Amino acid sequence: MGQSVSTAKLTSRRDCNRSQRSKSKSTALIGQMQAEEAEEVERNSIDGLSDIISVLPDECLACIFQSLTPGDRKRCSLVCRRWLRIEGQSRHRLSLNAQSDLHPHIPSIFSRFDAVTKLALKCDRRSVSIGDEALAQISEHCRNLTRLKLRACRDLTDAGMLAFAKNCKCLKKLSCGSCTFGAKGMNAVLDYCPALEELSVKRLRGITDGAAAEPIGPGVAAASLKSICLKELYNGQCFGPLIVGAKNLRSLKLFRCSGDWDKLFPLIVDRVTGIVEIHMERIQVSDIGLTAISNCLNLEILHLVKTPECTNVGLGSVAEKCRLLRKLHIDGWKANRIGDQGLIAVAKCCLNLQELVLIGVNPTKISLEMLASNCQNLERLALCGSDTVGDAEISCIALKCIALKKLCIKSCPVSDQGMEALASGCPNLVKVKVKKCRGVTSEGVEWLRTNRGSLVINLDTGEQLDASASDGGGAQDNGVEFPPMVASQIGAPSIASSSTGRSTSHKLLGLLSGMSLVACTLRRFGNSNGSSQS
């Protein structure tokens, strides 16, 4: 019995020890599992963005991609196959190097980017460009294309443009420069693209010069065209039938196109009555053409750049009839054909004038005072290369131009005295540019800055190159630029690029807070997960 009792005690002791050892092992195992779970939770919290994005619909992820810079979009496409697919399907704008070796890769490129609606094909002038077959193949993959830009595609012919036009009938905007196809290729686009709204043609080498030139237009596209821009064409007047037939045309821009435009303008304004914008630079036009243009009663924007045959008489005709004029740019090329007389006519009739740029024109205090007094909405004024604009004229502007916000003075005989006049005038003035005015010193500008602390002042004495000058013509050659100040120009904050998918993903999370569509989606998934757990 005693032996049995002691054996029973030993047995119970062993069982107790085993139980304690198993409990300790269980406790250790549970602790290890809890640690792993905690580590996993921590890892998920770090990589939580991956879990969030993995449940986002493709549409939401595509919306995020569209807010990124092109470089960040490329990096995102390398994260995983899903991102590669969505990034390709959500890309609507594509720019390609259009060299001849692009041709074999066209099927693979456009099978990935199958939603492209805006395409740019640019080739280096020293390289061989794609040909007709490649353009036709592209058009077969991009039948919903709305915008096409061709640059230096010298191997394209009329046949390639015909094949393209037959496949891309939704085209709304065509811009071509330094190409070699001719009138037949252009007419093919006008005949098969009824939705075309904007046409820009520069250095189209295939157009025959002289009387033998084939006329271009009007075609079915003439009914929808709203903007035509012709640059550096040997015979731009072969586009006459198109311009005359574009009854809904609103903007006409002619830059360095040979031919006598005085003969064409009467025909244009007789049939096209809704034009609101006309740019003319270095073309053969005189007061005859301006008198015809004066019949465009809805005209709001007029640029006369280096057209020396235009005088005060022609400008007066436009001013008397085009009373809705808002923007007037004149580069007189120092020909002294436009001066006080024409500007006084503008001051008397164009009371809605908001922007006035005078380059190589010599106005005096008489016309400037009348402009300042009558044009109460004048907000932007540029006076460049004038021998008559001095301190007295600047003082007149400072006293009379109440609404003026931006003032540019370049290469004029203005001194520090003119700067002092600005200190007490133009109450709405926010920006002043003074360039190459030898009489204006840094001390005078500093005094103006001290007295008008909120005024932004740019001083360029002319000792350094003018970085603001553009390659374009007209007013931009003189560094004059008045960009519109609208809210739509305020872009989204830029996102720094990253070499890793995780850091890029974390930057994507910053965009989620600003997108209501994605936020609603996250809330929806959050609510569904919460309800399933409860």
pLDDT, one tens digit per residue, over 84-103 is 777 766 678 899 999 999 99
Tell me: do 169 and 67 sit in the same domain.
Answer: no
pLDDT greater than 60 at residue 527: no
Q: How far is CA 217 from CA 185, 251, 269, in A?
A: 11, 17, 17
In terms of domains, do 101 and 223 share one?
Answer: yes
Sequence-distant (≥ 6) Cβ neighbours of residue 417 within 8 angstroms: 391, 395
| Same domain? 64 vs 79 | yes
Q: Is the distance from CB of 414 to CB of 392 less than 8 angstroms?
A: no
The pLDDT value given to residue 495: 31
Q: Based on the fold, state whether residues 410 and 423 are members of the same structural domain.
A: yes
Mean pLDDT score across all residues of the chain:
81
In a domain, 426, yes or no: yes
Q: Tell me if 227 is assigned to some domain.
A: yes
Q: What is the reported pTM?
A: 0.76
Q: Are residues 109 and 121 in the same domain?
A: yes
Domain closes at, from 197, 229, 259: 259
* The last residue of a domain, from among 462, 494, 523: 462
pLDDT tens digits, 242-253: 999 999 999 999
Secondary structure of residue 177 in the 3-state scheme: strand
Domain termination residue (choose one: 417, 444, 462): 462
Helix (H, G, I), strand (E, B) or coil at 47: coil
Domain match, 101 and 79 both:
no
Strand, helix or coil for residue 209: coil
Of 202, 176, 205, which Cα lies nearest the Cα of 189?
A: 176
Angle ∠(459,464,468) on CA atoms, nearest 5: 65
pLDDT digits (tens, 9 = 90+) for 348-388: 999 999 999 999 999 999 999 999 999 999 999 999 999 99
In this structure, the answer to whether residues 87 and 145 fall within a common structural domain is no
Same domain as 189, residue 115: yes
Query: To 5 degrees, how large is the angle CA 32–CA 34–CA 40?
Result: 105
- Residue 246 belongs to what domain range? 95-259
Do 109 and 245 lie in one domain? The reply is yes
Number of domains in the chain: 3
Predicted pLDDT at 492: 34
Q: Is residue 63 part of a domain?
A: yes
- For residues 64 and 54, give the distance between their C-alpha atoms in angstroms, rounded to a whole number: 13
The verdict on residue 10 lying in a domain is: no
Assess whether 191 and 62 both reside in one domain: no
Alpha carbon distance 510, 515 (integer Å): 10
pLDDT at 196 over 80: yes
Asked whether residue 393 is assigned to any structural domain, the reply reads: yes
DSSP-assigned states of every residue in 481-511: ------GGG-PPPP----SSHHHHHHHHHHH
H runs (alpha helix) in 142-239: 158-167, 183-192
Predicted local confidence at residue 466, as pLDDT: 36
